[in-house]
Amino acid sequence: MGRFISRLVQSDFIKIRERIVVKQLKSKGPSESMVDLTIQDVQRGFAIDSHGYTNDVVLFLRKNKKDRV
């Protein structure tokens, strides 16, 4: 069972990670077009908009609201 799951993850997940949209954001380039941020973009660290502008992907972690006082 372990080998089956690892093969499934390796083959199918690699193919679909470039199609799964995590969030849609506005590009920081001059066109300010919307960019679909995918799992692959997060792993690479950048996303390219429709006009070819490369946007860096930066993730932030915050404390819970109750701990931010």
The tens digit of pLDDT for each residue in 5-55 reads 666 666 666 677 778 899 999 999 998 999 999 988 999 999 999 999 999
Domain ranges of the chain: 2-67
- How would you write the chain as a 3-class SS string? CHHHHHHHHHHHHHHHCCCCEEEEEECCCCCCCEEEEEHHHHHHCEEECCCCCEEECCCCCCCCHHHCC
pTM for the whole structure: 0.67
C-alpha to C-alpha distance for 69 and 64, rounded to whole angstroms: 10
**Does 65 score more than 90 pLDDT?**
no
